[in-house]
Structures are given as structure tokens and as C-alpha cells.
Amino acid sequence: MILVGELSLWVALLMATWTATVSFAGGATRRAELVVSGERGLYATLLFVVLASAGLWTALLSADFSLRFVASYTSANLPTVYKITAFWAGQSGSLLFWALILALFSGACVFANRARNRDLMPWVTGTLGAVLIFFIATICFASNPYERLDWVPPDGRGMNPQLQNPGMAIHPPMLYLGWVGTTIPFAFAVGALVTRKLDAQWLGAIRRWSLISWFFLTIGLILGMWWAYVELGWGGYWAWDPVENAPLTSWLTQTAFLHSIMIQEKRGMLRKWNVSLVIGTFLLSILGTFITRSGVIESVHSFAQSAIGTWFAVFLGIAFVASCVLVATRLRDMEAKAELESMVSREAAFLYNNLVLVGIAFSVLWGTLFPILSEWVRGTKITVGPPFFNTVNVPLGLGLLALTGIGPLIAWRRASTENLRRQFTVPVLIGVATVAVLMLAGMRHFTALVAYGLSGFVVGTIGQEFWKGVGARRRMHGENPALATVRLVARNRRRYGGYIVHLGVAMIFAAFAGYAFKQEYDLTLKTGDVFRARDPFGHEWTFTSQGISQYERLNRQVTAVGLVMTKDGARVPGVLTSEKRQHVDSRGVPTFEPSTEVGLLEGHMMDVYLVFAGMTGEDTAELRLSFNPLVWWVWYGGIVMAIGGLIVMWPQAERARQGGYVTQLAPEHAGASPTPAPVGAGSA
């Protein structure tokens, strides 16, 4: 199976080449048999990429340490689940994983469009084939997971303990699903540009794919934050690290596209912009894959030294230039069909939303790539740190939060004073009340107050929409509130799913603001020593060291310190325990440096976070303890965003698509926000 897998990789490369060549030829000559052959070629590519992946999984599971990849990332005593996830633990395997997901997505896309979008499909298939060629060729020639060692080591080196965590096991696949998902819209953009069919057709074909990509990017980002928080032990979830920034930029442009697509659907505006966003998101995904996989930015060594750097640079260059040429030669086919009529309109709100999202994406990209840019320009690497990202992005982020509330409620074309008064009075009051309550409670942190005021405003707009919608259904259909809510959402999925996503966004912003109140202490505690502190909410805590214990587990030796806690004088159940783990291989030989397991007392409003730094003498522990407010609201917000995303992209039942439920609701909303018209229509 391993040999079959290795050979399949090369066959897949041939098949992908065939697919791209024949599909482009078929598109150019309009010969149907070539087009069909190209699509079959794509299915064949899929088959062989699956075989190649199955071969690597076989090698991992059967612990074939003659493969350098297997020997480098697994050991005989690694739990089976981590042998499976070792597939994406190293560079070459994760490139193959990228190719696998891309092949699966491409196959699904070609199959779903076997009777649709036929004029675009040759170019779509060809583009997908071309991207597959790039990935498979990079794997074959520059980073091959089937590379063999000259000798067979008795055991592998094992997996980095920090990766032996459920979050890290599924975080990369989620991110890859999101990144790979941007390829399909890109392929359709190429198809639409080449054939000059730049009307709504291609947008309809890719909306679902863009949502899928956005959905997985969201989950991937949140899981990455969670992993950094529980596993890395520095007490935070976001450090503006290049590997975090890379998926964030793709997420931002994808989010911008999901908003601006509505402007094009409703008003025929932003056509060039939308094509550019699709292309930009794809290029950022490729760049992001490269940044996370190569570590080129954290390394002081220059760009060209990375084995896959040249491959990625050349591919990005080709894709960028080809896209620019395509867009430039088609500009006249993308003239806007309408003009912006007023600054106080939904169009303007969405335009600013796009401006801010892309502005944030650009600043993050600038800060991330600054070392490389400065190396080109000045010959020496210069980095910019978190102050850069925070100074630029906090005001932009707050502006974005405000637009999250304004955009969905303001009228299209030109909002009347009446519209503004009716839609925004209550939410603004809620926002002001939020600030007033927090100030009474003693909060004086300006940025945090603004963030909470705006979060309150956004939640107010969403609550008001649900209130009005449910009220209308209750009057119209006599439904009870629960049923009315469910039906309201189920029958206007794009709209109310979108509100739920916005609710998650507001929750996450509130969590970010809460992080400003974090407190941190460095402690040295002997057995029995007590540490007293007052948390940001004003509760009194004591922490009593229970001393240090040592014991062994299956693949590790553990040294642990435990703290008994009281809060306002009452005993808190459980013991806050942080561990140092020394992982060992099957012969009992230590692998890696000791890793740290943080001690975490999680709460809805605040976490207590404990890091065991080391020991002085027999019973004295060096610790770092912190109060981290509202961290759970990041995870809650992420879950809410994911649920909202699922609702938006869930296929609409046929009857609802044809039915007039929305127009029945319309009287309430007609003047204010005539969004609902094409609910589900075209969301194929």
C-alpha cells in the first residue's frame, strides 16, 4: 500500500496535468469531448490523490520508520489517534493533505455542476487542475512525504507534545478546509472572466462555497486560539504571530466578499471589487499556507532558503499576474449597473464595512510581511510587534463593530430620518445604557467602554429584529414565541443566520475588551504557602500550595503542583493543578523538552490560569498565575458564529424557496429593509 501510495502521487501529477491541459483546450475550442475528458481526468486525479494519502496513512499507522516523515513525527507508542493526525504534523504531509482536500472539493464541485454552468466549467475544471498540479508537483519534487531514510531507526522521534491535544488535532484540518475552499470561487472567477459571463451566474454558483470556506476558517481560527490558550501556556489566545495572522487575512477578505456579494445581487454594484476579493482571498490562502508551513517569517534566514519557498513564490507570481491580466482586460464587462445614491444607506454601510475589513487585512498583512519586505528593501530583517497591530486595528475593529449594527438595519438606497429613528432608537439606548451601567460599576477603561457600548448596540439591533419578526409571525399565524422564532429563522436563513453570526461577533469583541483587565502574578510558593489576590471583579482569592508530586503515565513522566483555592472565603472545589510532562518513547528514553500543562479554573466570567515554571529545591514551585476575564466568551462567540454560519449555508427546502413566507412578513419590514426578497433564491 505504501508503494502504491508513492506511485499514485506521480500518477496524480500526470492526471492533473491532463485535466488542466485538456480542459483549457476544450474551453478554448468549445469541443465537448475534450471538456468531458478533462472532467474525467479530474476524477482520476482525485482517485490517485486519495490513494497517495491512504498510502501515507498506512505508513503512519504501521509505523514504517523507513520513511523519514513517519520517523520524524511519530513513535511506536504514540496513541493511534495522533498517528492519524500526524499526517498534517509535518510540512510534506500537510501539503499532501491540502492536495487531498482540494481534490475532494474539486471532485464535488465538478460533480455538482455536471448539468449546470456548463459554459464556465471547462475553465473551472482547468483552473482546479492547475492548482492541483502546483501542489502535487511541490510535494513530488520539493517536499515528498515518501522520502526514505538510508537506515531504519528502531523508533521514531515522536510527536511534539504540544501537538498532542485534541484542539491541535483538528485545528489544521479546519483551517485547510477553509483555505482550500477559496480555490473553488477562484476557479469560477477565472471561468467567468475568461468567458466574460460576469453577471450574477457565477456569483450564485460560488456563494455556498464561499460560505463553506468562511465557516471552516472561522472554526479553524477559534480552535487555534483555544489551542494557544490551553496548550502554549503564555496566558493569552492571540499574539499576532504570523501563523495566526495568515488565516486571519483570508478570513477578513472572505468576510468582506460575503457582504459585498449582497450589494452586487441587489444593486449590480461592486462587480470589479467582488472579482478582486475572490482572487485576493485565494492568493492570501496560498500565501498563508506557505507562511504557516515554512516558518519563513519567524526564521532569521532569508526567504529563498526554505525548500518550498521558490515553488510558492513562482506559483503566487503566476497566479497574481494571470489574474491581473484577466481582470484588466475585462474591466469594461464589469461596469456597475447603479451608483451610490446616499451616504446614509445600506450600500454605503456595506462599502465602509468592506473598506474596513480589507483595511484590517492589509495592515495585518503589512505587519506580518514586514520582515520580508524590509529584507528586500534594506537588506536586513526588521520586525514590527503587537503594538503595531493593536494601534492600527483597535480603532478599525471598533468601527467594524459599529457597522455590524448599522449595516443590516439601515435602508437601501437612501435612509429616511423616519427609518433611522425607528430602527436605531432602541439599540442606541441599549448601547448607552450598557456604558452607563459599566461606568457605575467602576469601569474607566476608555477603549473597553466603547467596545461594550457598541456590543450592546449590536445586540440591541439583533434583539429588535428578532422581536419584530417573532411578533409579526405571532400576529399573523398565532404561533407561540418558540415556534415563531424557529420558523422565522428557518424561513429567512440568510438574514437571521447572519444576525446570529453578528451576535457571535459582538460576543467576541466583548471578550477582547475584557482581556484588557487581565491580572498576572509571578509567585514562588513552598508547600503550605498562601497567596492572596483580588480579581478584576473584586472577589478575594487565596491560593495554598499543596506541594509538588511526581508520577508516571503511559508515555510521560509528570511533575505536578496543586493549589487549593478559596474565593471570598469559600472553598472552591477541586485543586488547580499545573504539570510539567516529560514525554518518553517506547524505550523510556525522554523525547523533547519537558512540556507544560497549564492549570485552568474556567468560568463564564473569568478563568484562573496557572503555569508551573519550575522548581527551586524539593518543595518550592515557581509559578505564574493570572486572572483572565471573559475568555470563555471568545469560545461562546465562536460557537455562535459557527451556528449562524451553518444556518446561512444550510440548503433551503424547496417549498420555502418558492413560497411567499417572506412577503407575508413583509409589511413590518417593507419600508425598512427589503432584504428578504430572494430568500434562498439562487443559493444553489
Partner 1 sequence: MKARTKFLIGGFVILGTASYLAAKTTTESATYFLTPSELAARVQADDDFRENGVKVGARVVKGSIVRAPGGKEVAFTMEDSTGTTFPVVYRGIIPDTFTDSVEVVVEGRLDDRGTFQATVLLAKCASRYENAPGKPGEGGYPAGAQHPAGIPKTGAGHPAGVPTGGYGASDVAPATPTPPAAAPRP
Q: Which of 596, 652, 673, 683 binds partner 1 (CB under 8 A)?
A: 596
Spatial distance between the Cα atoms of 64 and 58, rounded to a whole number of angstroms: 9
Q: 595 forms bridges with which residues in the sheet?
A: 581
Q: Which of 71, 109, 194, 275 binds partner 1 (CB under 8 A)?
A: 71
Q: Is the CB of 197 or the CB of 413 nearer to partner 1?
A: 413
Q: Does residue 616 belong to the site contacting partner 1 (CB under 8 A)?
A: yes
Q: Does residue 294 belong to the site contacting partner 1 (CB under 8 A)?
A: yes
| Number of neighbouring beta carbons within 10 Å of residue 162 | 15
List the grid coordinates of 253: 477578505
Site size with partner 1, rule: CB under 8 A: 103
Q: Does residue 268 belong to the site contacting partner 1 (CB under 8 A)?
A: no
DSSP assignment, residue 602? -
Scanning 41-49, 196-204, 532-540, 593-601 for contacts with partner 1 by CB under 8 A, the matching segment is 593-601
Q: Does residue 388 belong to the site contacting partner 1 (CB under 8 A)?
A: yes
Nearest distance in Å: CB 347, partner 1 = 9
Q: Is the CB of 151 or the CB of 569 nearer to partner 1?
A: 151
Q: Are 522 and 624 a contacting pair, CB within 8 Å? A: yes
Q: Which of 45, 143, 164, 555 binds partner 1 (CB under 8 A)?
A: 143
Nearest distance in Å: CB 368, partner 1 = 12
Q: Which of 574, 614, 651, 678 binds partner 1 (CB under 8 A)?
A: 614
Q: Is the CB of 110 or the CB of 223 nearer to partner 1?
A: 223
* Site track for partner 1 across 431-470, x = CB under 8 A: ----------------------------------------
Q: Does residue 547 belong to the site contacting partner 1 (CB under 8 A)?
A: no
Q: Does residue 123 belong to the site contacting partner 1 (CB under 8 A)?
A: no
Q: Does residue 234 belong to the site contacting partner 1 (CB under 8 A)?
A: yes
Nearest distance in Å: CB 362, partner 1 = 9
Residue 57 C-beta-side C-alpha neighbours within 13 Å: 12
Q: Does residue 195 belong to the site contacting partner 1 (CB under 8 A)?
A: no
Q: Does residue 531 belong to the site contacting partner 1 (CB under 8 A)?
A: no
Q: Does residue 355 belong to the site contacting partner 1 (CB under 8 A)?
A: yes
Nearest distance in Å: CB 265, partner 1 = 20
Q: Does residue 549 belong to the site contacting partner 1 (CB under 8 A)?
A: no
Q: Which of 77, 292, 323, 368 binds partner 1 (CB under 8 A)?
A: 292
Q: Which of 455, 580, 598, 629 binds partner 1 (CB under 8 A)?
A: 580
Q: Which of 295, 574, 671, 678 binds partner 1 (CB under 8 A)?
A: 295
Residue 668's contacts (CB-CB under 8 Å, 6 or more residues apart) are 468, 469, 471, 472
Scanning 39-47, 354-362, 511-519, 654-662 for contacts with partner 1 by CB under 8 A, the matching segment is 354-362
Nearest distance in Å: CB 589, partner 1 = 6
Question: b or e along 431-463 (b: 16 or more beta carbons within 10 Å of the residue's beta carbon)?
Answer: beebbeebeeeebeeeebbbbbbbbbbbbbbbe
Q: The sheet that has 540-553: what strands, in order across it?
A: 530-534, 540-553, 556-567, 570-583, 595-597
Q: Are 645 and 498 a contacting pair, CB within 8 Å? A: no
Q: Are 354 and 259 a contacting pair, CB within 8 Å? A: yes
Q: Which of 205, 258, 270, 356 binds partner 1 (CB under 8 A)?
A: 356
Q: Does residue 602 belong to the site contacting partner 1 (CB under 8 A)?
A: no
The footprint of partner 1 on residues 6-65 (CB under 8 A) is none
Read off the amino acid at residue 424: F
Give the torsion sign (CA, 557, 561, 565, 571): positive
The footprint of partner 1 on residues 72-111 (CB under 8 A) is 72-73, 89-92
| Number of neighbouring beta carbons within 10 Å of residue 358 | 21
Spatial distance between the Cα atoms of 213 and 231, rounded to a whole number of angstroms: 26
Q: Is the CB of 160 or the CB of 519 nearer to partner 1?
A: 160
Scanning 198-206, 288-296, 511-519, 667-675 for contacts with partner 1 by CB under 8 A, the matching segment is 288-296
Could you give phi then psi for residue 602, rounded to 5 degrees? Answer: -90, 145
Q: Is the CB of 147 or the CB of 602 nearer to partner 1?
A: 147
Q: Is the CB of 423 or the CB of 596 nearer to partner 1?
A: 596
- The H-or-E segment that residue 551 falls in is strand 540-553
Integer CA distances (angstroms), 96 to 8, 44, 84, 100, 146, in order: 12, 16, 14, 6, 11
Q: Which residue has the cell 451610490?
A: 340
Nearest distance in Å: CB 580, partner 1 = 4
Q: Which of 3, 115, 300, 554 binds partner 1 (CB under 8 A)?
A: 300
Q: Smallest Cα–Cα separation from 114: which of 43, 179, 47?
A: 43
Q: What size, in residues, is the chain?
A: 684
Residue 382's contacts (CB-CB under 8 Å, 6 or more residues apart) are 370, 371, 374
| Number of neighbouring beta carbons within 10 Å of residue 394 | 15
Q: Which of 32, 81, 343, 429 binds partner 1 (CB under 8 A)?
A: 343
Integer CA distances (angstroms), 369 to 147, 364, 383, in order: 31, 9, 9
